[in-house]
Structure 1
């Protein structure tokens, strides 16, 4: 009988406590649990409580974006003066500032973590979409010694004043800052959080009814478009920063903004989910469109714009080369790369910017390179459909063009439809000038011909 009991006990699977006692399993399991789930598990027994609260890695990654205790309904944003809400039943104190009012719920959650003595263990903190995130709270998180946050995400937080945030970041990265500061190494701010299924349904329902919502469409620069909202971070199985995905930044950041000076001041200290168009800008400086050159010379001359287009690792459509000194993973400084979503649970910057592996057709792995650009560098040299582009050595649209190409293109679809061979080789006897590569935002050699041929039939755009 004793032998039977012994064999039966040995065949039993390990308990949940035994599994989580393995640090490798714990580190890969806890980040997927909501904060309420971790607390519920810690209340089941003294052993679980001791394991979770005494293991620093258990609270290394904290996502409060879906924490009900930190949530402020957007409907309350216009009802400050009447008092009464989910976290404060009494009338608002007249001495209470607006930032203190909004930050109340989130400060309550953070205070609970502080009382449990786990707040200092938090290295990755996600606060996306919370109206209770204010500039005062952000300042406390990045300056107060109570916090040890390395990666912070505050995307789509309605009550964050961008001017004050920029001022705070420039102060943190000032040349005279104390040694070892700031603790913050990465800030997610520019990308748009993906909508959950119920949020998508709500947005579609409100938009169909003509109701204005405090959603992604009201953020700076408006929306990316319905097709892009469903696929914000991945393009054909690859992160959008490393694929020929085209526009990767919302429209509001395409124009000049104070963020460019902020990213320049924070370079090498704090990384963002955005980068400046430094390498492409130097490469295209001599061949910029005159209008682009005049605008950039008048507005913030010498400061590179934000990179708003991802062109993929393929390089120039003509010669295949990348802009000079374009970042290459494993060779360049990791701080030259943008933060990728989702942030790593370990809070390490190198893992937050690590690009996906580039696997070749033969199965070999190549070093990944980052090729991005601003809208000004790509004027008349980038296809909006297939995202091919040409470097300054292969194409200079401002220098010379074959007049015959222009004439044929302007007549196209009306009385003359050029063939692919005519467009790629030219039928003119001119010796000077380059053949046009981009017309009306489409590359002449591939996409423009396809569009013409598709519209040449009955009912087409040229039919």
Structure 2
């Protein structure tokens, strides 16, 4: 069974290089040559125009010039494209290309491309489906042929049972997590035209704007003010740990526009974006279907209000890290060799001593009530740390 890379070498890669090495090649032409050889053979046997889903993850032959051919060339009909972790792909040029094909003055009926995977990480090869449709050799002569697309029904549970975007997974993508990303303007320009395997932090951003941490507010003001960051953290469907409320306007499947949702993996065999963004079914305890809501955030919206272990988070109404905190909490949590924490009753119901200020909910990126306490109790050998 051949992988994409094997097919690249045995279906035109080596012969292309042998024929062209004596010519003056650009860097993009050199790298893209082997894959162009494969695609050229598919064109000659009348297969290429039937390919609607093209998966090119981690291939060294993927360059900006090749993507331009796929997106703009009349011989292609690719609707969903995956180019994750392609070493020789220039992301700045790719962003320019995507903004160009989504420009307001674009020709009617364009672009053909409707979805592109760039941000999520490809699974290791031993974790991918063993179905041959994941391989470039899995090309058939039937209508709507897919190159590299998965044949498993979309929305079927993976190893974890729930797609990371719809579980309390924490950080889902790396790009844009620690600093602003150059992709943010591209997602804005392509909104409603091309979908990505990422979304912008719009709903949480609007909800948290009045109570952003000072450092977060300063950073976002100095770096592309007015442009939402990438949402890199998935919080699951449960809402605020205090009141259960989701961010205002957080998209709900079946009620919100499909463009509000990220592409999920694997790409659908249908080649339709609506199937690529369709969330997995969410069931209640009695087996009834529950509304599937997408709650995601950038890292700046959740500063000091999100537990990085259990991924509980608090809305602006339930917790504002910028207001004064109880002096006793600060002293207890900051002191080395802790021997006392607020009781669970205090944390649940508020202090009974009349001391002013709110209880601290997050300390050292862990929630005080659950994860921090459990960690310290384990460290104390189960001896107990409650006063």
C-alpha spacing 1:198/1:321, structure 2 compared with 1 (3 Å)? closer
**Which residue number corresponds to residue 223 of structure 1?**
none
Question: Structure 2 residue aligned with 1:394, among 306, 318, 324?
Answer: 318
* TM-score (normalizing by structure 1): 0.72
**Which residue number corresponds to residue 140 of structure 1?**
69
- Residue 175 in structure 1 maps to residue 175 in structure 2: no
C-alpha spacing 1:71/1:296, structure 2 compared with 1 (3 Å)? farther
Question: Structure 1 residue aligned with 2:7, among 37, 50, 69?
Answer: 69
**Which residue number corresponds to residue 338 of structure 1?**
262
**Which residue number corresponds to residue 83 of structure 2?**
154
C-alpha spacing 1:316/1:438, structure 2 compared with 1 (3 Å)? same
How far the C-alpha of 1:102 sits from its partner, in A, is 1.1
How far the C-alpha of 1:69 sits from its partner, in A, is 3.1
Count of residues paired in the alignment: 355
- Residue 315 in structure 1 maps to residue 239 in structure 2: yes
* Alpha-carbon distance in structure 2 between the residues aligned to 1:460 and 1:342: 46
Question: Structure 2 residue aligned with 1:406, among 299, 320, 330?
Answer: 330
Corresponding residue SS for 1:359: coil
Q: CA RMSD in A?
A: 2.5
1:235–1:245: 8 Å Cα contact kept in structure 2?
no
Aligned positions of 1:434-449 closer than 5 A: 434-449=358-373
* Alpha-carbon distance in structure 2 between the residues aligned to 1:71 and 1:311: 42
How far the C-alpha of 1:449 sits from its partner, in A, is 1.1
- Residue 281 in structure 1 maps to residue 205 in structure 2: yes
* Alpha-carbon distance in structure 1 between the residues aligned to 2:187 and 2:112: 17
How far the C-alpha of 1:250 sits from its partner, in A, is 1.6
Question: Structure 2 residue aligned with 1:188, among 103, 114, 117?
Answer: 117
1:246–1:311: 8 Å Cα contact kept in structure 2?
yes
* Alpha-carbon distance in structure 1 between the residues aligned to 2:245 and 2:341: 33
Q: Which has the higher helix share?
A: 1
How far the C-alpha of 1:93 sits from its partner, in A, is 2.8
Q: Give the structure, 1 or 2, with the largest relative contact order (CA under 8 Å, sep 6 or more).
A: 2
**Which residue number corresponds to residue 20 of structure 1?**
none
- Residue 130 in structure 1 maps to residue 59 in structure 2: yes
Corresponding residue SS for 1:365: coil
**Which residue number corresponds to residue 375 of structure 2?**
451
Give per-residue Cα distances to partners, 1:275-326, cap 9 Å, x unaligned.
Answer: 1001100100000000000110010000000001000000000111111111
- Residue 305 in structure 1 maps to residue 229 in structure 2: yes
5+ residue gaps, structure 1, are 1-33, 37-64, 73-83, 200-232
2:305–2:314: 8 Å Cα contact kept in structure 1?
yes
Question: Structure 2 residue aligned with 1:101, among 17, 30, 49?
Answer: 30
Give per-residue Cα distances to partners, 1:8-52, cap 9 Å, x unaligned.
Answer: xxxxxxxxxxxxxxxxxxxxxxxxxx7x7xxxxxxxxxxxxxxxx
How far the C-alpha of 1:400 sits from its partner, in A, is 2.5
2:176–2:230: 8 Å Cα contact kept in structure 1?
no
How far the C-alpha of 1:94 sits from its partner, in A, is 3.7
2:57–2:83: 8 Å Cα contact kept in structure 1?
yes
1:122–1:149: 8 Å Cα contact kept in structure 2?
yes
Question: Structure 1 residue aligned with 2:304, among 372, 380, 383?
Answer: 380
* Alpha-carbon distance in structure 1 between the residues aligned to 2:5 and 2:275: 25
5+ residue gaps, structure 2, are 129-156
C-alpha spacing 1:336/1:417, structure 2 compared with 1 (3 Å)? closer
How far the C-alpha of 1:431 sits from its partner, in A, is 5.2
How far the C-alpha of 1:430 sits from its partner, in A, is 3.3
Q: Which has the larger radius of gyration?
A: 1
